[in-house]
Amino acid sequence: MERDHRVEYDVFEVFIQKTQADHHVHVGSVVAPSPDVALTTARENFLRREKAVNLWVVPKEAIVATSYDIPGWFAREMDRKYREVGGYSENARLWKMYREKAMKLEDIVRDLNRKPGYADGVNRR
């Protein structure tokens, strides 16, 4: 009886999508009596300054997660350099032999936004 007057809200995890080019990102959680109120509370708690285009609130129980107690779950069986850009740093040295520079994705993206006929990342002789 003593605890009868207690009001307990549910916990909702909050995900913010900053622009439609971004995924929703978890930012924290709120307690609320309903999903509607959770959305409003989340906006007041997490978006007083930052801009967003969309908000998700997800009941905490709905989240399925790995355990922090099993670090092996994320273990890498071997060196994965071969999957990464950094694993190919020798390219720059090899290109140099041909008097060219290594090219990166960023160069391609940047040049796409420039006038055609002017490629910057590439060495013109």
Partner 1 sequence: MITDQRHEQFMERIQRGEKIEATDWMPDEYRKLLLKLIHMHAVSEIMGAFPEKEWVPKAPTLKRKLAIMAKVQDEVGHGQLLLRVAEDLAAPLGKTREDLMEDLIEGRVKFHNVFHMESPTWADAGVIGWLVDGAAIINQAALLSTSYGPYARVLKRICAEESFHMQHGENIILALAGGSKEQRRMLQEAVNRWWESLIFFFGPVEVTDAARRMIDYRIRTKTNEELRQQFLKKYVPRIHSLGLTIPDPNLRYDEESEKWIFTEPDWKKFGEIVRYNQGPKSQERLKLRRFAHEDQRWVREAMVRSQKMQVV
Q: Which residues bind partner 1 (CB under 8 A)?
A: 5-9, 11, 27-31, 33-34, 37, 41, 44-46, 48-49, 67-69
- Do 55 and 39 touch, CB atoms closer than 8 A? yes
- In the complex, what is the shortest distance from the CB of residue 55 to partner 1, in angstroms, rounded to a whole number? 16
Nearer to partner 1, 43 or 101 (CB): 43
Nearer to partner 1, 28 or 87 (CB): 28
Calpha distance 65→19 (Å, rounded): 26
- Do 58 and 13 touch, CB atoms closer than 8 A? yes
- In the complex, what is the shortest distance from the CB of residue 70 to partner 1, in angstroms, rounded to a whole number? 12
- In the complex, what is the shortest distance from the CB of residue 11 to partner 1, in angstroms, rounded to a whole number? 8
Token digits for 74? 């994320």
* Gyration radius from the chain CA atoms: 25
Nearer to partner 1, 6 or 125 (CB): 6
Kindly state the DSSP code that residue 9 receives in the 8-state scheme: P
Calpha distance 29→12 (Å, rounded): 6
Calpha distance 69→25 (Å, rounded): 24
- In the complex, what is the shortest distance from the CB of residue 27 to partner 1, in angstroms, rounded to a whole number? 8
Nearer to partner 1, 68 or 98 (CB): 68
